[in-house]
Amino acid sequence: MSEYIEQFMDEEGTITADTSVMTKPENAPEPITNKDLLKSWFRWWWANEVPHTYDRMLAPAFCFGMIPALKKLYKDKAMLAEAFQRHLMFFNTQAVWGGGTLTGVSISLEEARAKALHEGKLEEAVDVSMINNTKIGLMGPLAGIGDAIDSGTVQYIFIAIFLPFAKSGSGLGALLPFLCFALSTFIYGFFFTKMGYSLGRGAAKEIMTGAKMKSVINALGVLGLFMMGIMAAQYVDVSSALEFTINQKEFVIQDILDSILPGLLPLLTVLALYLFFDKKGLKITKGMIVLTVSLIILAAIGIL
């Protein structure tokens, strides 16, 4: 795929396709069917963890899943390469709830864009930034929901159901939970793909074009920030071990902080890391080293 895309890149590594070629009769996009949605969903479901890369995460698998639909929508090779390139941007979400829904939404938005370009309605075409920002804004919240329900609930239900088989020494106790979990997630993941396609198509008509586009992008950004805040509150665990006694009365600093604002120290830790990145740039390794050393020192002197 990389060789295919590279032939359309300029010296700066970007593709600027001529949208006017979409108006040619031979470049008319084909309609997307349930079979196309199933094919895209299956390709993503099967490959979502296979081409896992550090810089793009799951984007190669997502693009792999989008290929059948994109080939039906963009007949011009340069336009197709441009679509491949935008779906190879960083992408990371939960396989079923996030991947299924965003596969359907992305296909719907790409279809709306391709149809508008073919009809020569450039101003009404879904903007590329809208397609990218929709994925970025929703991949985090959907991943949080999917991880909690699939990994935290559904798989344990199947384990509990077939646990008696395992206790009796049957190999089905290990095999059936895996098979039932895979089958069930595939079924309702395809439902999410179809639902995302329907919702995305409606959104493209109602709010994804025109004056409301900016407000939608801002809303998705706020939603992403909310999700990051929730994740920080759940997974950043910092507490104070400092305590002292005055006039035979014991003071536990952590209890005092919790009475003022629960989670104050995790919040201060996240803010300190944010300020570091804001001042020094996004140097993740250096930031983690500074944070780790600081926490070790504070723990050694008994503050944390």
Task: For residue 215, tell me if it sits in a domain.
Answer: yes
**How confident is the model at residue 13, as a pLDDT?**
58
Domain boundaries, position 260: 238-300
Task: For residue 287, tell me if it sits in a domain.
Answer: yes
256 in the same domain as 213:
no
For the chain, what percent of residues have pLDDT higher than 70?
Answer: 82
Task: For residue 115, tell me if it sits in a domain.
Answer: yes
**How confident is the model at residue 217, as a pLDDT?**
55
Q: How many CB atoms lie within 10 A of CB 74?
A: 25
221 in the same domain as 72:
yes
271 in the same domain as 124:
no
Q: How many CB atoms lie within 10 A of CB 39?
A: 15
Task: For residue 164, tell me if it sits in a domain.
Answer: no
189 in the same domain as 296:
no
205 in the same domain as 294:
no
**How confident is the model at residue 207, as a pLDDT?**
42
118 φ, ψ (degrees, to nearest 5): -65, -35
**How confident is the model at residue 104, as a pLDDT?**
93
193 in the same domain as 247:
no
**How confident is the model at residue 97, as a pLDDT?**
87
**Number of domains observed in the structure of the chain:** 2
**How confident is the model at residue 230, as a pLDDT?**
67
**How confident is the model at residue 186, as a pLDDT?**
93
273 in the same domain as 223:
no
141 in the same domain as 248:
no
Task: For residue 278, tell me if it sits in a domain.
Answer: yes
66 in the same domain as 201:
yes
Task: For residue 26, tell me if it sits in a domain.
Answer: yes
263 in the same domain as 224:
no
**How confident is the model at residue 224, as a pLDDT?**
57
Task: For residue 55, tell me if it sits in a domain.
Answer: yes
pLDDT < 50 positions in the chain: 204-210
**How confident is the model at residue 261, as a pLDDT?**
79
81 in the same domain as 16:
yes
**How confident is the model at residue 62, as a pLDDT?**
93
249 in the same domain as 113:
no
**How confident is the model at residue 208, as a pLDDT?**
44
**How confident is the model at residue 41, as a pLDDT?**
94
Task: For residue 170, tell me if it sits in a domain.
Answer: no
